[in-house]
Amino acid sequence: MSESKRVVITGAGALSPYGVGVDLLVKSLLEGKSALSVYPALKGINGINSHIAGVAPDIDFTFIPRQYRRSMTKMSLFATMAATEALKTAKLESSPKDAALYLGSTISSMEAWIGWAQKYLENHLEQVKTTAVFQVMNNSPLANVAQALGIKGAGFGVCNACATGLVNIGLAYTAIKAGLIESALCGGTDEYHPMMTGCFSMMNAASSQFNDEPAKSSRPFDKDRGGIVCSEGSGIIYIETLDNALARGADILAEIIGFACNTETKSISHPSSDSIIDCMEAALKSAKIAPKDVDMVNAHATSTLAGDEEEAKSIAKVFGPSIKVNSLKGHLGHTMAASGSLELIAISKMMLEGKMAPTLNLDNVDPACQGVDHIRTQAALNINTFVKNSFALGGTNASMIIRRYIK
Amino acid sequence: MQKEEIIKQINAALAKEFELDESMLTPDADFVKLGLDSLDAVDMVIVLEQMFKIDIRNNYKVGDFGTLGGLYDFVERLIKQKNA
C-alpha cells in the first residue's frame, strides 16, 4: 500500500449513555462506572422480562437550529452532536467540501414510527406532520446530519443491524484506501426504545437475572451472564488519508490498517465460530499482519450465552491463549448501531493513554469462554495493535484492525 | 370565540411549534420573514386544524393569507362557518 493510501483517524465524537463527549466516555469506563439503570416502563410490558437499559441523560440540543432539529429524532440529535465533536477534534471548522458521510442505525426511530402508525390506525393521517417523513425514513440520521452540518460529499446510510457502526467505518476506510474519497465522517447511532429490549426478550436473549441490580446486569463472558442490555448513543470518527492529515497538522488518534466483513449463513440469529474466525483472519490478511502482531481484541461480546462463547472460542483459535480480550458492554450495555464505533473510539483513546478498562462484571469467567487472557482489572497495558469486532443479528460479522500511529 | 382569543391561541401555538418570540407575531408579520418554509406551512395548518377543529386544507385558496393578520382573519372565518 502506498504511503498516500494509509488511513488515519483524526477526529472522534461520542454521545454515550454516560453523556456527551469522548473524554467523559473514556473517564467513566476507566472509573468502572456502569451506564445502566432500571427503565421503569419496561416493567409493565407483557413479553419483556428485562427491566434495564442504558439511556443518555437529558441533553440540550438547541445548539442545532430548529430548521434542522425539527426533522430529527434522538438518533439524529445524538449523531449531530457526535459528528460536531469529531470535526472539532479533527481541527476542522466545518466538513470539507468533498468529505463523505457513512452513517446508519439499526432501524429508524421506533417512537416516530409508532406515532405515525397510531394515526394511520385511527385513520387520521392528515394529523401527521411533514417532518415525520424525515424521522422515519431508513436514512434519517444520514440525511439529518448531512443537512445540519452541510456535509456535501457522498452519503451512505448503510444498515447492518448491530454491526452498523463498524461496517460504516469499514466502508469509508475501504473507499479512502482505494483512492475514491479523501476523507469521511463515519459511524453509527441509535436511540433506545422498549421495542429494542423486546426484540431480544422475544428470543430469550435479554438480561433479566439482575433486574434489581442494574450495574451487574450486563456481564460479558461471565458464568452468570444472561443476555443483552440495550442502550443508546452515537460514535462518529473523522478519517482521512495520512497525507491529508500530515499536511494540515492534524492530531492522529490511530491508524486503521485492516477490515473485513462476512456473513454467517448457518443461522440468522446465532453466530458460529467458523464465520467469526474467517472474518478475523480476513481482517488480518487485509492488514498484512500475523495474529502474533495483535496485542488485544475488543470483543463484540454482548453478554449472551451463545454469542460470547462463540466469540471467545474464535479469538482463542486465531490468536492463542495470551491474547488480551475485553468487552465494554459490561459498562455500556449494547449501544446497537453505535457500539462498534463508540467502542473503537474508547479503545483507541485508552491505547494512547496506556490504560485499558477491564470487562466489567467479569467475576467468574465462564469455562466455555476461557482460552484467552481476559482483562479483568484495570491495567497499564502497552497496546499497539488491536482488533475491534462487531457482529449482528442477520449474520453480519465485521472485524477492524487498529494500530497506534507510527510515522 | 372572540377574535382576540383566536389571535392569542394562534400566537401561542406558533411560538411553541416554531420556537418564535411572541413579540415577533404581529398582524403584518410575513411568514417567510418569520423564517418559516413550505414544510412549516403544512405543519402550521396541521396544528391549527387540530386546535380549532377546522378544515383549512380544503378551504384554502392561494393568496388567502400571506401575513399573520391574514391567517387570523382566515381562521376566524372558518370558525364562524363551523359554528353557523
pLDDT digits over A315-333, tens only? 999 999 999 999 999 999 9
Q: Give the mean pLDDT of A357-370.
A: 98
Q: CA A148 to CA A61: how far, in whole Å?
A: 12
B39 contacts in A (CB within 8 Å)?
Answer: 70, 130-131
b/e per residue A114-129 (b: at least 16 CB within 10 A): ebbeebeeeeeeeebb
Of residues A200, A214, A240, A224, the one with CA closest to residue A332? A214
Q: Which residues have C-beta within 8 Å of that of residue A24, sequence separation ≥ 6? A: A14, A16, A18
Q: Which cell goes with B15?
A: 411560538
Of residues A186, A161, A182, A160, the one with CA closest to residue A171? A186
State yes or no: pLDDT of A1 exceeds 70: no
pLDDT band at A271 (very low <50, low <70, confident <90, very high): confident
Cβ separation B43–A130 shorter than 8 A? yes
Cβ separation A126–B43 shorter than 8 A? no
Q: What is the DSSP string of A62-85?
A: TTS-HHHHTT--HHHHHHHHHHHH
Q: CA A37 to CA A407: how far, in whole Å?
A: 43
How far are the Cα atoms of A228, B4, B16, B32, B36 from residue B68, in angstroms, in the given order? 53, 13, 15, 11, 12
Q: CA A196 to CA A107: how far, in whole Å?
A: 10
A7-247: CATH topology is Peroxisomal Thiolase; Chain A, domain 1 (3.40.47)
Q: CA A209 to CA A107: how far, in whole Å?
A: 27
Residue extents of the structural domains in chain A: 7-247, 258-403
Residue labelled with grid coordinates 462463540? A310
A258-403: CATH topology is Peroxisomal Thiolase; Chain A, domain 1 (3.40.47)
With a CB-CB cutoff of 8 Å, which residues 11-40 of chain B face chain A?
Answer: 18-19, 35, 37, 39-40
**For residue A8, which amino acid is it?**
V
B40 contacts in A (CB within 8 Å)?
Answer: 70
pLDDT band at A3 (very low <50, low <70, confident <90, very high): very low
Q: Which cell goes with A261?
A: 466483513
pLDDT in tens, A14-32: 999 999 999 999 999 999 9
Q: Which of B19, B37, B46 sits opposite A129 (nearest CB)?
A: B46
Q: Which of B19, B42, B50 sits opposite A66 (nearest CB)?
A: B19
Q: Which residues have C-beta within 8 Å of that of residue A322, sequence separation ≥ 6? A: A373
Question: What's the ipTM?
Answer: 0.88
Cβ separation B57–A70 shorter than 8 A? no
Which residues in chain B land under pLDDT 50?
A: none
CATH value of B3-83 in 3.40.50.300, 1.10.1200.10, 3.30.70.20, 1.10.286.10: 1.10.1200.10
Q: CA A51 to CA A44: how far, in whole Å?
A: 9
pLDDT in tens, A107-140: 999 999 999 999 999 999 999 999 999 999 999 9
State yes or no: pLDDT of A2 exceeds 50: no
Chain A: closest CA distance from residue B8 (Å): 22
Q: Which of B37, B43, B57 sits opposite A129 (nearest CB)?
A: B43
Instruction: Say what angle helices B3-18 and B68-83 make with each other, to 10 degrees.
Output: 120
Angle at alpha carbon of residue A49, lines to A392 and A309, rounded to 5° = 40
Cβ separation B18–A66 shorter than 8 A? yes
Testing the interface with B: which of A64, A70, A71 to mutate, by most B Cβ within 10 A?
Answer: A70
Chain A interface includes B53 (CB < 8 A)? no
Cβ separation A70–B39 shorter than 8 A? yes
B35 contacts in A (CB within 8 Å)?
Answer: 67
Q: CA A353 to CA A347: how far, in whole Å?
A: 10
Q: Give the mean pLDDT of A142-156.
A: 97
Q: Give the mean pLDDT of A138-161.
A: 96
How do A296-298 and A37-38 pair as beta strands?
unpaired
Of residues A120, A116, A142, A150, the one with CA closest to residue A130? A116
State yes or no: pLDDT of A66 exceeds 60: yes
Among A150-164, A383-397, B50-64, the minimum mean pLDDT is found in B50-64
How much is the CA Rg of chain A, to the nearest whole Å? Answer: 20
pLDDT in tens, A275-298: 999 999 999 999 999 999 999 999
Cβ separation B37–A128 shorter than 8 A? no
Cβ separation A126–B35 shorter than 8 A? no
pLDDT in tens, B58-75: 988 777 778 999 999 999
Cβ separation B35–A131 shorter than 8 A? no
Q: Give the mean pLDDT of A253-260.
A: 98
Chain B: closest CA distance from residue A70 (Å): 9
Cβ separation A129–B49 shorter than 8 A? no
Cβ separation A67–B43 shorter than 8 A? no
Q: How many CB pairs under 8 A join A and B?
A: 21
Whether the CB-CB separation of A110 and A195 falls below 8 Å is answered with yes
Testing the interface with A: which of B43, B45, B53, B57 to mutate, by most A Cβ within 10 A?
Answer: B43
**For residue A46, which amino acid is it?**
N
Cβ separation B18–A126 shorter than 8 A? no
Cβ separation A131–B39 shorter than 8 A? yes
With a CB-CB cutoff of 8 Å, which residues 53-72 of chain A face chain B?
Answer: 66-67, 70
What's chain A's average pLDDT?
Answer: 96
Q: What is the pLDDT of residue B84?
A: 85
Chain B interface includes A133 (CB < 8 A)? no
Residue extents of the structural domains in chain B: 3-83
Cβ separation B42–A128 shorter than 8 A? no
Chain A: closest CA distance from residue B59 (Å): 15
pLDDT in tens, A29-48: 999 999 999 999 999 999 99
Whether the CB-CB separation of A78 and A165 falls below 8 Å is answered with no
Q: CA A237 to CA A218: how far, in whole Å?
A: 26
Chain B: closest CA distance from residue A58 (Å): 19
pLDDT in tens, A182-241: 999 999 999 999 999 999 999 999 999 999 999 999 999 999 999 999 999 999 999 999
Q: CA B7 to CA B1: how far, in whole Å?
A: 10
Chain B interface includes A124 (CB < 8 A)? no
The 3 state secondary structure assigned to A205-272 is: CECCCCCCCHHHCCCCCECCCCCECEECEEEEEEEEEHHHHHHCCCCCCEEEEEEEEEECCCCCCCCC
Q: Which cell goes with A252?
A: 492522529
Chain B interface includes A382 (CB < 8 A)? no
Q: Which cell goes with B35?
A: 423564517
B46 contacts in A (CB within 8 Å)?
Answer: 126-129
pLDDT band at A145 (very low <50, low <70, confident <90, very high): very high
Q: What is the pLDDT of residue B60?
A: 83
Q: Which residues have C-beta within 8 Å of that of residue A397, sequence separation ≥ 6? A: A163, A261, A262, A263, A264, A271, A275, A276, A278, A279, A389, A390, A391
